[in-house]
Structure 1
Amino acid sequence: MLQKFKEDEQTKFWVDNDGVMWFGDRLCVPNDPTLREAVLSEAHSSPFSIHLGSTKMYGNLKQHFWWNGMKQDIATFVGKCLTAG
């Protein structure tokens, strides 16, 4: 069964049986710039979402992923894209 970090209603972080951390039903992306860059690059350059702006990209990613500062990281990433920015 799943282990909760805290039973507090406001804390939705938990770790599954494989040691993967989740925030509610969203995968927590570790504080690894290379990994986060890979997630952003894949989401931004995917044939299904080619060069979305930061608002749409955040809307898509927040359904599946979470990390502290994600919205700002997306805005910065999109701002550096010559096609989308």
Structure 2
Amino acid sequence: MPTATNRSLGMQRNKLLRYKLIKELYYKHKTEDIPTTVVWRKYICPVYPISRTTLYEILCTSVTVELREIEEAIKNQAKL
């Protein structure tokens, strides 16, 4: 069933792209004297309504590495 695999790869890719946008927004506003919770509440939550726990999960995710793996898998699926 290549379609289900393509669909799940696409969903994973979209999630990682969203994570990338959230991380960019976080690092844009995060400074040494501003706590993570303040950045989450003032800047991230109004745009991306996620929990603080989800934010911490996103910050721990290596988005670029996982995106590269997903892109490789999508290319391999296209070759089949």
TM superposition score category, shorter chain reference: 0.3 to 0.5
Highest Rg: 1 or 2? Answer: 2
Structure number with the higher strand fraction is: 1
Higher RCO by CA contacts (8 Å cutoff, separation 6 or greater)? 2
> When the two structures are superposed, what TM-score results if normalisation uses the length of structure 2?
0.39
